Chain A
Amino acid sequence: MSNNDNSVENGLTIHGTCMELCPTEEVTLRMKEKLVHVLEVTSSGHKLVKSFCRSAANSNLAVPRMLRPFGVLSDTVHYLLLELSNRTDVKMSVLYDFLDDRLRAVRQDMTIQRLPPEQCVILLEPMIRFYVYYGYRLYNHPISEYDPVLNRKHLLECIKWFLNCCDKLDSTQTVQCDINTIIGNFNSLDICKTSPELYYDRILIESLYILSNLDDIHPLHRYLALPGHVKKASALKLAYYIALANMNNNYVRVLKLSKHLCPLTFSVLSLYLPTLQRKALHAMSHAYNSKHLVVPVEVLKQWLAFNTLEEVRAICIHYGMSLVREKDGICFEKAKFKNNVEQHRQLCFQAKILQLKLDEVLSYTI
């Protein structure tokens, strides 16, 4: 039965035949209609990349000559994320929008051709890093330039797809321990390569999944059900312990453990920081509730990873607390805590990712 179904599926699969980053028809059309993006104009002439096109009624996207096979898709991702991302002549948000759109087109080609999981993971992993990187870097940009909701949507879409592929690979593949695979693994570690290689790091993505969904308990259920060799990886365990501490609102432990995170996982956690700080301040407004007692501003800065003393003061006032003792102390009163105000947007700026370029973020392992 199920074998039959599979063969039917295979029979329907379309294999792309387009060997360029962009199908010829689209190149002609966009050149004619003057729809070439500024990032597609290079010093050596035009270099177009297939753009995302919504599937609409009456349009047939499943045309082999319009679809790029795995090798070309891999080159496209390579080109977009490792070469184009170095362009400095446009604003960061414009660059992001362009890359986001072209990566979406890559995913569309993957879907239409139903690429097997072992190929999907290789294409998806760098995209996930890309979304995390810009999700942090563009966080404070105005909504007209950058939409954090869409970024998160695409990020989660890629992560879930990636993890789904991993599950499929888990169920088909028995762990290979023969000598050839081990040697193979050593060869892939070749450090003499001139250009950074794209490969996939499951532990990193599993960690990102947990840390980007800290208010949701389901990623933890997933973690507990993972196969032993994945679950035992120390980087992933760290993410799990952070999520556990957060589940119990133990903000001191979350921030203590966060010091061990890698740049990408740290930046995902940083996006959650305002929520964590708000929850912590709310709990503290009950626990330190007193008209006379104070908590020093300095201590709050240290506990909740604020950037400056000034920021602590501003945020505490935002939530209804008052400053006392020459602005050096915060007086918590539970009755005054404003739970209905909008959440503050200040971010933890110490994230290491700010000093890194996209290609550096794409290639490190944890």
Chain B
Amino acid sequence: MQISLNHYIQSVERMYRLFDGEELSRLLSLRDVHVGNKNLRSSDIASLVEGNCVAPLDEVIICHLLCVKALHEKEYLEAYSHQRQCVVAVVRILQNQKEQNWCLPLMYTACLDLRLVAQKAEATAAQSEGKILEKAAESLLSCFRVCAADNRTSDEDTKRLGMLYLVNQLLKVYFRINALHLCKPLIRAIDSSPLWHQFPLAQQITYRYFVGRKAMFDSDYSTAESYLSFAFQKCHRNSHKNKRLILTYLIPVKMLLGYMPTVGLLEKYDLLQFLELISTVKNGDLRGIDSVMEKHESFFISAGIYLIVEKLKIIAYRNLFKKVYLEENNHQIDIANFQAALQMMGEEDMSSDETQCIVANLIYQGKIKGYISYQHKKVVVSKQNAFPPLSSL
């Protein structure tokens, strides 16, 4: 039961006149069943639609159907340029509709589709180096400007409610083309927005996930922890894939702050790459850490957590020294004993000076309570709580 082109145009127009943004966006989505309808793939779409439908909606329909046609022909670059025109037409509609925002779902759909088509075009065009996605981001920004500028309308009807959705799409693009420096103004715009609690939870989660990753990239670990934790806790329990993604970043950050994940959690989310890492860090096994890092190098680098894993060595030092301390059962420990432990665990060329330097930093960071005596070459640790739990720091 495939509807005719005329019938399709009429239903789109009807939804437009009924202010039904949801249904309208479905009819203009590239991910809806109507895309498979052969009747909509005429060779002369523009002349058939034009005059048959109210302006400026006709242009949206033309671009949309041209894009569908190009996709069927696997002409992804062409599909992408049609979808860009479609977004331009949608922007025009938005600009004309003062003090109303029922059209936002249409904008969401057009923008999401644009990003997906751009990704597809990017993958097929050799040597594009992210240029297509960069251009797509410009289109998304044009939508963003229209939304952000709508600041005189009441809180229910303002197009500013669409900002977060667009920012999320932009963040996805910027992460993909490795242009994280462009995220900053977007983050500032959202963080200063008074509408934060009115944005849908799903969008808030996506946003925090990306901003958390950005903070991690800038080595701001406590911010990263709070954003990623929010995302993980609020993420829907059935979104297994998303929860796993969040954990990939949350686990190393948490480890750095002294929280080790359970085996059950790692098994549940298929993140056993961390399992060996955890046991080596716990045991202060420096050689082990190096071999885990070598084994999972590509995973750690592609996830952008390689340097955090490198930082976990400090935790490993602390754990190793704690073992030496428990073994000695004395609150005065020879530097030479620490040095021997480090050498045994894989740092063969460790000198007495460098051992002191490592201990000095652990004391400075509060991970060991005590002081070093240079003359006696000893570390004197506090009689109580010499190695405070990392999570208490």
Residues of A within 8 A of B (CB): 1-2, 5, 168, 171-172, 217-218, 220-221, 224-225, 244, 247-253, 256, 282-284, 286-290, 293-296, 299, 303
Known interface pairs A247-B311, A282-B364, A287-B364; A293-B132 also in contact (CB < 8 Å)? no
Known interface pairs A247-B311, A253-B354, A287-B359; A1-B371 also in contact (CB < 8 Å)? no
Is B183 close to A, CB under 8 A?
no
A283 near B307 with CB under 8 A, answer no
A286 near B373 with CB under 8 A, answer no
Within 8 A of A (CB), among B345-374: 351, 353-354, 356-361, 363-364, 371-374
CA distance A66 to B363 in the complex (A): 62
Q: Which 9 A-B pairs rank lowest in CB-CB distance, beginning with the nearest? A: A287-B360, A283-B364, A252-B357, A287-B363, A252-B354, A286-B364, A295-B374, A1-B77, A217-B219
The residue in chain B whose Cβ has the minimal distance to the Cβ of A254 is B357
Distance (Å) between the CB of B169 and the closest chain A CB?
20
A-B contact count (CB 8 A): 90
Can you list 13 A-B pairs, Cβ within 8 angstroms, ordered by A? A1-B125, A2-B128, A217-B218, A247-B310, A248-B311, A250-B361, A252-B353, A253-B354, A286-B364, A287-B361, A287-B372, A295-B374, A296-B374
Contacts of A288 in B (CB 8 A): 360, 371-374
The residue in chain B whose Cβ has the minimal distance to the Cβ of A330 is B374
CA distance A252 to B313 in the complex (A): 16
Complex partner residue of A2 from B132, B306, B359, CB under 8 angstroms: B132
B363 near A250 with CB under 8 A, answer no
B219 near A5 with CB under 8 A, answer no
A217 near B307 with CB under 8 A, answer yes
The residue in chain B whose Cβ has the minimal distance to the Cβ of A243 is B307
CA distance A172 to B129 in the complex (A): 10
B373 near A293 with CB under 8 A, answer yes
Is B321 close to A, CB under 8 A?
no
Distance (Å) between the CB of A277 and the closest chain B CB?
13
CA distance A133 to B238 in the complex (A): 59
Interface flags, B134-162, vs A, CB<8A=1, else 0: 00000000000000000000000000000
CA distance A156 to B30 in the complex (A): 45
CA distance A330 to B214 in the complex (A): 42
Complex partner residue of A220 from B121, B127, B307, B314, CB under 8 angstroms: B307
Distance (Å) between the CB of A190 and the closest chain B CB?
34
Within 8 A of A (CB), among B364-391: 364, 371-375
Is B81 close to A, CB under 8 A?
yes
A1 near B132 with CB under 8 A, answer yes
Is B249 close to A, CB under 8 A?
no
CA distance A256 to B374 in the complex (A): 20
CA distance A248 to B132 in the complex (A): 39
CA distance A252 to B314 in the complex (A): 15
Besides A5-B131, A171-B129, A283-B360, 19 new A-B residue pairs in contact (Cβ under 8 A), listed by A number: A1-B125, A1-B132, A2-B131, A2-B132, A217-B307, A221-B307, A224-B306, A247-B311, A250-B358, A251-B357, A252-B357, A256-B354, A283-B364, A284-B360, A288-B372, A293-B374, A293-B375, A294-B374, A303-B353
CA distance A187 to B374 in the complex (A): 57
Distance (Å) between the CB of B202 and the closest chain A CB?
29
Contacts of B219 in A (CB 8 A): 217
